[in-house]
Copies of this chain bind each other. A is one copy, B any other.
């Protein structure tokens, strides 16, 4: 790791070089896994993929603020980088894409629908916002047991805040001042629906006062700023200060999923006009400018990650599908027939 003798001052919020390069690696890994999904889909190897290009800064920053072994993450389907960042083995990304038997859902769910009890990653639902009350229940359990120092991080998209279940979840958490951070990954779109058709307020954080909560907006293309904001919010939650609504701004650079074609509803120009928000090159540049990493180190990191992703792809692809007979496992505990 390159150590600059005189480092120009930049707002690093106490982060050390290895933490910064850890974030860089997380972001690059996420992007490469994303690309791999779309690639495998184009090659006809997998029927479906979701990408989170543009969300990397949020994920890296929030993941670093998360305390492994203590906090609980209640994520949604975009949170590949966040799940990796809190400790998920990247093989799971590939296992989910290939729907292999070793996938955490046993090949049942779409890609990127993780659940890792041992890591504190709650089970992801495809039903938008349905997970938000679960996060609140988990936070309630922490508070009831008096587990100070723990908190829940619950993420969701901008569109999700229109849902009644989101409203009820945030309201419940606020009433009980639970240890939870609601982190909105505002990528400006819900499939083809822009903010203006989703809500009449300008910002997601405009919704916070209605729940009696503080709201903080942050530039999600900046993982350091995101880290700082999420960390502060998590710390408040961990110390009895109650929930915070964090809005991290980003942009969804890809189509919603491989099934979507965003050319039907937004121009290429619009997308290009957001390139300056792409967290990956911004952060590369920042680390190089501030001599946290050299350009060569980053190139090497990319090579290593690509090799890793290639290797994971091969390993995952080589693994078997679940068996058809697995279909009736885990419906409830034990064998299960409605007629007994």
Contact = CB atoms under 8 A, between A and B. Distances in A.
A199 B208 CA distance: 12
Contacts of A168: 162-164, 167
Interface stretch (A71-79, A88-96, A210-218, A230-238): A210-218
Contacts of A199: 171, 174-175, 211-212
**Which DSSP category, helix, strand, loop or mixed, fits chain A's interface?**
helix
Contacts of A196: 175
Contact of A209 (B177, B198, B201): B201
A2 interface: no
Interface in A177-200: 177, 196-200
Contacts of A202: 212
Interface in A58-78: none
Interface string A149-172: 000000000000011111110010
Contact of A200 (B163, B174, B197, B201): B174
A207 interface: yes
Contacts of A200: 171, 174-175, 177, 211-213
Interface residues of A, number: 26
A53 B197 CA distance: 40
A206 interface: yes
A210 B207 contact: yes
Give the residue among A165, A200, A213 with the most B Cβ atoms within 10 A.
Answer: A200
B212 A206 contact: yes
Contacts of A164: 163-168
Nearest to A195: B175
Contacts of A165: 164
B209 A206 contact: yes
Contacts of A207: 210
Interface string A248-286: 000000000000000000000000000000000000000
Nearest to A204: B210
Interface of A: 162-168, 171, 174-175, 177, 196-202, 206-213
8 contacts: A164-B165, A167-B168, A174-B199, A175-B198, A175-B199, A175-B200, A201-B209, A202-B212
